Chain A
Amino acid sequence: KAGVTQTPRYLIKTRGQQVTLSCSPISGHRSVSWYQQTPGQGLQFLFEYFSETQRNKGNFPGRFSGRQFSNSRSEMNVSTLELGDSALYLCASSLAGAERETQYFGPGTRLLVL
């Protein structure tokens, strides 16, 4: 089975721009979660989608948004980029997002905001 894939792997943007990151979960997985990883804050939960619905959201401003498509693929969008948005963005998929399930992480998209 193919693992979680994320595109693009690297991205450079300037302040004020917006960016869209994509995540393809493992086949059959319907839950997709997004995390931001920075040296200062570590790994922080952004949001989780299941069956095209956002079920859970972390403590991030409204500039961070996401969506999930009927094939479970997910995108996250960051508008009006700030320097502090430079980070590794990780997505993880699981069957249904239940507490006992393993989350499988992708390799991440490294975003640099200049």
Chain B
Amino acid sequence: DAKTTQPNSMESNEEEPVHLPCNHSTISGTDYIHWYRQLPSQGPEYVIHGLTSNVNNRMASLAIAEDRKSSTLILHRATLRDAAVYYCILSRLGYSGAGSYQLTFGKGTKLSVIP
């Protein structure tokens, strides 16, 4: 299974940019890179995803290395509400091959935002 490696924790000051790194050296050509986050006492929440090109949405940006072996989630201005565990995930075709993709979560990065 393709695995991802993330730092256990990171800190950021409020209103500063945050760069959350993820290594996925065994990624295959068809694996999408997803980022989800989980706020305390809530289910995971989608942040962003991409395949090869950098992606932007209203929440964040995703920078994908040219060889796709690493990616970086960028929060442009961290707020206290961004304090969460951030998961970098590769969606992988399930065992049946019947079009079902599962999310394989790692330990994630716990982001703390300092006021």
Across-interface contacts of B46 in A (CB, < 8 A): 102-104
Question: Given A99-B32, A99-B91, A103-B46, is A43 in contact with B96 using a C-beta cutoff of 8 Å?
Answer: no
Question: Given A45-B104, A98-B101, is A57 in contact with B44 using a C-beta cutoff of 8 Å?
Answer: no
Chain A's interface: helix, strand, loop or mixed, by majority? strand
**How many Å lie between the Cα of A57 and that of B87 in the bound state?**
21
Q: How many A-B residue pairs have CB under 8 A?
A: 70
Say how far B68's CB is from chain A's closest CB, in angstroms. Answer: 15
In the complex, whether A20 has a CB less than 8 A from a CB of chain B is: no
Say how far B94's CB is from chain A's closest CB, in angstroms. Answer: 3
Question: Given A48-B102, A102-B46, is A56 in contact with B96 using a C-beta cutoff of 8 Å?
Answer: yes
Interface size bracket, B side:
20 to 34
Say how far A106's CB is from chain B's closest CB, in angstroms. Answer: 5
Across-interface contacts of B44 in A (CB, < 8 A): 43, 90, 92, 105
**How many Å lie between the Cα of A43 and that of B107 in the bound state?**
8
Would A96 and B49 count as touching, CB distance under 8 A? no
Residues in A55-114 with C-beta less than 8 Å from chain B: 55-58, 90, 92, 96-108
Would B102 and A58 count as touching, CB distance under 8 A? yes
What 1/0 mask marks residues of chain A from 41 to 58 whose CB sits below 8 Å from any chain B CB?
011110010100001111
A residues adjacent to B (C-beta < 8 A): 4, 31, 33, 35, 42-45, 48, 50, 55-58, 90, 92, 96-108
B residues adjacent to A (C-beta < 8 A): 30-32, 42-46, 49, 51, 87, 91, 93-96, 98-108
- List, sorted by A's number, 8 A–B pairs whose CB atoms are closer than 8 Å: A42-B108, A43-B87, A43-B105, A50-B99, A55-B100, A98-B101, A105-B44, A108-B43
